[in-house]
Structure 1
């Protein structure tokens, strides 16, 4: 308590208690972190081809991107064509219900995309699909 000039005490302190406001801010922060939807991405931007017939895939766990320069990306890491099978086997062992979705660029070679499909199937994943844009 402070004393004013007359010798008495001051009833209204001039300090503001920020504790309740900080509690509210932290609760809101926790709420937004818990309710945020996390999007799984392949790691590179791919210009996918258009398709008139397409269907949504649920529970996609293995995303493989093939860029215009025929680079293969899995889980934001560049992978050699010969290593695709082992990476897909490892990821499929972690989640056996997962499917493989290949995001191939319009300018990528069919040979590279076919090699990725074959490697995925030889890894034991037979639910392989190609991602396209709705036209």
Structure 2
């Protein structure tokens, strides 16, 4: 039986449409795709290494304290040596008396008039404030002293 032209075309078209829609030629993955992060991590590590290698480190100027040997204690016993003690309460003492920071330049000047090359030792308790020790040293320099020796005393 001959087919009508309309039926054949509709049948062929319908079959091809069903074949195209019904047949899975490609697998569809419904899960969320996750990007590969390893190239990005590699780049981050390379940049990190680059910045570490090329970084310039700032060297801060510090104050150098040379801890003297036991000979400094022997020098402190001489009458020619001026000894200023900064105790753990950050009070300054000279010859067993508490002195103010303003009085230190005068003490240093009188000591240097008596003995021109008289050594000056600042004995600072480790528990005292560092700023007070530096103020004592600056007061000694104001009094005309050359750089002083700073020793740390054990309490």
The structure with higher relative contact order (CA 8 Å, sep 6+) is 1
Question: Are the equivalent residues in 2 in contact too, given 1:86–1:123 (CA < 8 A)?
Answer: yes
Residue number among 56, 65, 68 corresponding to 1:54 in the alignment:
68
What is the total number of aligned residue pairs between the two structures? 84
- Using the alignment, how far apart are the partners of 1:52 and 1:123 within structure 2? 22
Q: Which residue does 2:89 correspond to in 1?
A: 69
Q: Which residue does 1:28 correspond to in 2?
A: none
Q: Which residue does 1:123 correspond to in 2?
A: 143
Question: Are the equivalent residues in 1 in contact too, given 2:88–2:127 (CA < 8 A)?
Answer: yes
- Using the alignment, how far apart are the partners of 1:62 and 1:101 within structure 2? 6
Q: Which residue does 2:104 correspond to in 1?
A: 84
1:114 alignment partner, SS class: helix
Cα deviation for residue 129 of structure 1 reads 0.4
Runs of 4+ that moved beyond 2 A? 51-60
With structure 1 as the length reference, what TM-score do the two structures score?
Answer: 0.54
Q: Which residue does 1:20 correspond to in 2?
A: none
Give the alignment's Cα RMSD to 1 decimal.
Answer: 2.5
**Structure showing the higher helix proportion among its residues:** 2
With structure 2 as the length reference, what TM-score do the two structures score?
Answer: 0.48
Question: Are the equivalent residues in 1 in contact too, given 2:124–2:153 (CA < 8 A)?
Answer: no
- Using the alignment, how far apart are the partners of 1:112 and 1:97 within structure 2? 25
Cα deviation for residue 133 of structure 1 reads 5.9
Structure 1: runs of 5+ lacking an equivalent:
1-50
Cα deviation for residue 96 of structure 1 reads 1.1
Q: Which residue does 2:119 correspond to in 1?
A: 99
Residues 108 and 118 of structure 1, relative CA distance in 2, 3 Å threshold: same
**Structure showing the higher strand proportion among its residues:** 1
Question: Are the equivalent residues in 1 in contact too, given 2:106–2:143 (CA < 8 A)?
Answer: yes
